[in-house]
Amino acid sequence: MLAKRIIPCLDVRKGRVVKGKKFKDIVDVDQPEALGKFYSDNNADELVFYDITASNEGRKTSLEFVKRVADEINIPFSVGGGVSTLEDFNDILRKGADKVSVNSSAVKNPLLIKEASEKYGAQCVVLSIDAKKDKDGTWKVIINGGRKNTGLDAVEWAVKGVELGAGELVINSIDADGMKEGYDIDLLSQITQKVRVPVIASGGAGKMEHFYEVAEKADVDGILAASVFHYGEININDLKKYLKNKGIEVRI
């Protein structure tokens, strides 16, 4: 059994790490490199950085923080937000990131996934999907930082993204984002049953039990969280010990 990865998520706006609920009520947390080094030193398996306003503002990812982070940490990290061309992939990877995450731009131009996968390898291409449950009980893909409903079925888009060459999926439930009431097990289970690439759960962590529940019930490969780590509500080493005692394979 592969070890489940514990992944702090750092949303970046104007060069600072911030956090909100359902993409609203944004508050300042810390410098990306300072928080990144803290997690690297405290047994996180990977980090994810999102420039959360890049797509909506129609600009590229703010690259200044990427190199600063790469200089400070010794674990893999991915960067997303405003990535829309192969040149963006190249710039981010050259600054020291291990993976590049695409979201809104991949919906608008699905061939970006294929082209990036062919050029840099599937392992470098992460498809991030923000999903919101619709009245009909299905999940729809939301883009531009939670601002635009595309009408696309999120499960179908996940499958398509993998077919195009995405080597990993990050599935974020907007309904659960920042609410600390648990991950969207139904959504994640539907996706893990249909794809053969790593799936990372995002949105909803509030206590250690939520990490166990999503690892056990949805068979995800990694579990991403933000505020419970940023504000010291859950210690990563304590979380890993808890999960190991519950029979979940993790890297201690």
Which of 3, 1, 4 lies closest to 183 in space, CA to CA? Answer: 4
Could you tell me the two tokens for 137?
A: 């009980």
Which of 117, 83, 73 lies closest to 103 in space, CA to CA? Answer: 83
Could you tell me the two tokens for 251?
A: 């890297």
Q: Active-site residue 175, yes or no?
A: no
**Gap between the Cα atoms of 239 and 252, Å rounded:** 10
**Gap between the Cα atoms of 130 and 139, Å rounded:** 9
The catalytically annotated residue of 11, 45, 51, 184 is 11
Could you tell me the two tokens for 16?
A: 């600072």
Could you tell me the two tokens for 234?
A: 């859950």
Q: Active-site residue 130, yes or no?
A: yes
Contact 158, 187 (CB under 8 A): no
The catalytically annotated residue of 45, 130, 177, 184 is 130
Q: Which helix (H) or strand (E) holds 221?
A: none
**Gap between the Cα atoms of 165 and 121, Å rounded:** 8
Contact 236, 229 (CB under 8 A): yes
Instruction: Count Cβ atoms below 10 Å from residue 17 Cβ, excluding itself.
Output: 23
Could you tell me the two tokens for 1?
A: 């059994």
Q: Are strands 222-225 and 5-13 parallel, antiparallel or unpaired?
A: parallel
- Supply the residues annotated as catalytic: 11, 130
